[in-house]
Amino acid sequence: MTADHAPLTLAEKIWRAHHIADLASGARLVAIDRLLLHERTGGVALQSLEAAGREVLAPAQVFATMDHIVDTTEGRSDDTRMPTGRDFIVATREGAHRHGITLFDLDDPRQGIVHVISPEQGIVLPGLTLVCPDSHTCTQGAFGALAWGIGSSEAEQVLATMSLRMNRPGDMRITIEGALGEGVSAKDLALALLAELGSGGATGLMLEFAGPAVEALDMEGRMTLCNMATEMAAAGAVIAPDDKTFDYLKGRPYAPRGDVWDRAVAAWRDLATDPGASFAKDVRFDAAAVRPMVTWGTSPQDAVPIGRTIPEGDRVERRKLDYMDVRQGAQVEGLAIDAAFIGSCTNSRISDLRRAANILRGRKVAPGVNAICVPGSMQVKAQAEAEGLDRIFKDAGFQWRNAGCSMCFFAGGESFGAHERVVSSTNRNFESRQGPNTRTHLASPETVAASAIAGRIIAASALEKA
Amino acid sequence: MEPLTCLTSRAVPLPGDNIDTDIIIPSREMRSVSKSGLADGLFAGRRYTQIGGREPDPAFVLNQPQYAGASILISGANFGCGSSREHAVWALAEYGFRVVLAESFSPIFADNCIRNGLAPLTFAREDLAAMMTAAEQVQTFAIDLPQGTVTVGECRFRFSLAPEPLEMLVTGADVIALTLNQRDRIEQFRRRDRERRPWVYLD
């Protein structure tokens, strides 16, 4: 930091490096470094661009994958359970080919959920601006990039101009002191923050996670934490890059090499908030107080420590309780489940699968529980198989799938049944998110695994005692 | 995009916070690679008696005759949270909505609104509660975007939109065309930036 400028936030340093022009309206024209597309919204953006007679400005900086609608069962093809799913897949594939956009197609060993494969491939890098028509793009802020979700129209603009007209979002920081306890994961931390700050806790702000508990997380834990920032209505999330970040990225296919790598790392080391920088909202949180969490309602903020009761009082909407078939003052722990799901851009990476497998090893899923594991990418799947994790999942009674978003939501047409109670390592417990009238309880992969074994919602620590 | 300056309409009351984009348009209603054909899927999970069906549920506000043709929707905090699907905005616009009044919006949803000529206007909780009551009483709302006012009977409520989204809505501008006018600036930036941050450029 030089003495001649006011202290800057990490986000402001990145915004400044992407400033193309001030607009008459007071907004800025901001350069975008990476655009990621998937078949649900990519095809329509490319189609609309073509209809307007416009070109893709920088195809080398655009990547596409198939994740939202594709089937995850063995022997999958362009056909999906949703009758028109094929149209989305084919439109995105043909559009990507026409414009020279790199596509991680169905049969590509690099295919997977966009926010899992982008880090795996070194597509996201510190200091970049990265956008994708997907709200969980904030996941990738874990690498010290400004990463946020956009709509299809904005994706079309980025295809044509590699820039966005925007008002710079304000800054928010959550400093997480202390250390997470044994058996408490980044997912529990994210749910505890949501319970504390609410679903509007970061509305419109670029949210920086900082502090010793964040530094202590590995890159996959940081991704899980950043992933849930959109559930607080944040504009995006960001964590200052450090040696863990650089070690993770070094040697990845799209990361720089040789001298350029050294130059890049030198530049990336400056990507931290200066002491004294100011934030529109600056919050402290104690990691040591976090317990394994589970949601009881239909918003991710409706989370409690497992073993605590559902809040009382008339601020709780009746509709949520009825939908979830739960009562105020009652425990979530012990509710019988019909299904257990491990997957999604929140928790489907190798460390998630390892922790879940540790719990499943030598145990069996309770009778009548439909248990499914969907690795986040084909690389995660291959790694898990190399470690023998697939055997543990399958021996326990879990289905072992190919990569995709799968039943985090049912874009491809596969869903859990009406009124089924599902414990899920995903990010949203909205009404009918995982299937018509399905009841979703969000939790960590450990809690999902333990609950699958018990047949009811339970913390992993309680399973060990049982 | 059709410019939006002033508008007079009844307002459809949809009380509650955190109305997410899955509620606005469920995944199963997004059947084609297209921005149109979505109005029938708007609020499908609440609007019809059965999931996947088309028999109107008379209890749902959009099916009540006094709100037919209304182009204003009023709801609570964090409207449009969840999935970034622009289909939620396309469905609202195709159905005929031009304005959404709420305590707050998900940022992606608000940006999607601006791109499609739909005004996302925010108000303090008390103002919103008063307007919700007026909407339930089927009063007429008069919205003046440049003036930043909503008038309902004798009451006037103020809102502010940042100049950029206001200009986009009022002029109905094609944002991509406007940005392409800056092509020289963009290319100049990219040339200089390539020297500074070569790792960004992958060709």
Mean pLDDT across chain A: 96
Query: How close is the nearest chain B Cα to the Cα of A160, in Å?
Result: 8
Query: Do A461 and A321 sit in the same domain of this protein?
Result: yes
Among B161, B67, B72, smallest CA distance to B123 is for: B161
Query: How close is the nearest chain B Cα to the Cα of A348, in Å?
Result: 19
Query: By residue range, what is the domain housing residue A54?
Result: 26-166
Query: How close is the nearest chain A Cα to the Cα of B40, in Å?
Result: 17
pLDDT tens by residue, B111-169: 999 999 999 999 999 999 999 999 999 999 999 999 999 999 999 999 999 999 999 99
pLDDT at A204 over 80: yes
Q: Which residues of chain B neighbour A135 with C-beta distances below 8 Å?
A: 82-84, 106, 108
The answer to whether A382 faces chain B, any CB pair under 8 Å, is no
CA nearest to A145 within chain B: B200
Provide the token pair at A382: 């291959």
B151-190: buried (b, 16+ CB within 10 Å) or exposed (e) per residue? ebeeeebebebeebbbbbbbeeeebbebbbebeeebeebb
Q: How confident is the model at residue A1 (pLDDT cuts 50, 70, 90)?
A: very low
pLDDT tens by residue, B165-191: 999 999 999 999 999 999 999 999 999
Among A122, A136, A121, A148, smallest CA distance to A35 is for: A148
Distance CA A353, CA A377 (A): 12
pLDDT at A118 over 60: yes
Distance CA B49, CA A202 (A): 36
Q: How confident is the model at residue A316 (pLDDT cuts 50, 70, 90)?
A: confident
Query: How close is the nearest chain A Cα to the Cα of B153, in Å?
Result: 30
CA distances from A433 to A123, A440, A456, B26 (A): 29, 8, 21, 8
Name the E strands within chain B. 6-13, 72-74, 99-102, 119-122, 140-144, 149-152, 155-158
Residue where a domain stops, chosen among A102, A131, A166 = A166
Reduced to 3 states, what is the DSSP secondary structure of residue A34? Answer: strand
Residue where a domain stops, chosen among A123, A144, A166 = A166
Q: Is residue A31 part of a domain?
A: yes
DSSP-derived secondary structure for A346-390: TS-SHHHHHHHHHHHTT--PPTT-EEEE--SBHHHHHHHHHTTHH
Distance CA B183, CA B179 (A): 7
Query: How close is the nearest chain A Cα to the Cα of B46, in Å?
Result: 11
For position A413, what pLDDT does the model report? 85
- φ, ψ (nearest 5 deg) of residue B93: -65, -45
Q: What is the CATH number of the domain that holds A363?
A: 3.30.499.10
pLDDT at A411 over 90: no
Q: Which residue has the tokens 């009238």?
A: A437
pLDDT tens by residue, A257-280: 999 999 999 999 999 999 999 999
Q: Is residue A7 part of a domain?
A: no
Beta bridge partners of A175: A210, A284
Amino acid type, B97: F
Amino acid type, A395: D
Interface test with B, best of A69, A89, A165, A259 (most B CBs within 10 A): A165
**Residue B86 is nearest to which of A153, A255, A263, comparing CB atoms?**
A153
Q: Is residue A378 part of a domain?
A: yes
Distance CA A447, CA A360 (A): 11
Region for residue B64 given its phi and psi (left: phi exceeds 0; alpha: psi -120 to 50; beta: otherwise): beta
Q: Is residue A456 part of a domain?
A: yes
The answer to whether B186 faces chain A, any CB pair under 8 Å, is yes
Q: Which residue has the tokens 């047409």?
A: A413
The answer to whether A262 faces chain B, any CB pair under 8 Å, is no
- Determine the average pLDDT of the residues in A145-151: 98
Task: Identify whether the C-beta of residue B24 lies closer than 8 Å to the C-beta of residue B80.
Answer: yes
**Residue A233 is nearest to which of B16, B32, B78, comparing CB atoms?**
B78
**At a CB cut-off of 8 Å and minimum separation 6, what does A139 contact?**
A115, A147, A223, A226, A227, A237, A345, A346
CB contact under 8 A, A160 and B78: no
pLDDT tens by residue, A53-65: 999 999 999 999 9
Q: What is the CATH number of domain B6-172?
A: 3.20.19.10
Q: Which residue has the tokens 């000529």?
A: B117
DSSP collapsed to 3 states, A207-267: EEEECHHHHHCCHHHHHHHHHHHHHHCCCEEECCCCHHHHHHHCCCCCCCCHHHHHHHHHH
Among A9, A8, A5, A7, smallest CA distance to A236 is for: A9
The total number of structural domains in chain A stands at: 2
pLDDT tens by residue, B32-89: 899 999 999 999 999 999 988 999 999 999 999 999 999 999 999 999 999 999 999 9
ipTM field: 0.96
- φ, ψ (nearest 5 deg) of residue A302: -80, 65
Q: How confident is the model at residue A412 (pLDDT cuts 50, 70, 90)?
A: confident
Task: Identify whether the C-beta of residue A354 lies closer than 8 Å to the C-beta of residue A380.
Answer: no
Q: At what angle do helices A152-161 and A42-51 cross, to 10 degrees?
A: 60
Distance CA A71, CA A81 (A): 8
Cβ–Cβ pairs < 8 A, chains A and B: 192
Residue where a domain stops, chosen among A115, A134, A166 = A166
Reduced to 3 states, what is the DSSP secondary structure of residue A121? Answer: helix
Distance CA B123, CA B156 (A): 12
Interface test with A, best of B1, B75, B106 (most A CBs within 10 A): B106
Among A103, A71, A204, A64, smallest CA distance to A148 is for: A204
Q: Which residues of chain B neighbour A418 with C-beta distances below 8 Å?
A: 51
pLDDT at A386 over 70: yes
Task: Identify whether the C-beta of residue A31 lies closer than 8 Å to the C-beta of residue A5.
Answer: no
pLDDT tens by residue, A214-226: 999 999 999 999 9
* Domain boundaries, given as residue ranges, for chain B: 6-172, 173-203
For position A4, what pLDDT does the model report? 63
Reduced to 3 states, what is the DSSP secondary structure of residue A174? Answer: strand
Q: Which residue has the tokens 């820039």?
A: A163
**Residue A150 is nearest to which of B52, B82, B84, comparing CB atoms?**
B84
- Lowest mean pLDDT, pick from A280-294, A401-415, A430-444: A401-415
- Determine the average pLDDT of the residues in A223-246: 98
Distance CA A118, CA A141 (A): 12
For position A422, what pLDDT does the model report? 98
CA dihedral B82, B127, B69, B35 (to 10 degrees): -20
pLDDT tens by residue, A342-381: 999 999 999 999 999 999 999 999 999 999 999 999 999 9
Q: Is residue A345 part of a domain?
A: yes
For position A464, what pLDDT does the model report? 67
Q: How confident is the model at residue A465 (pLDDT cuts 50, 70, 90)?
A: low
- Determine the average pLDDT of the residues in A168-196: 98
* Alpha-carbon dihedral sign for residues B58, B59, B64, B66: positive
Q: Which residue has the tokens 């702000």?
A: A205
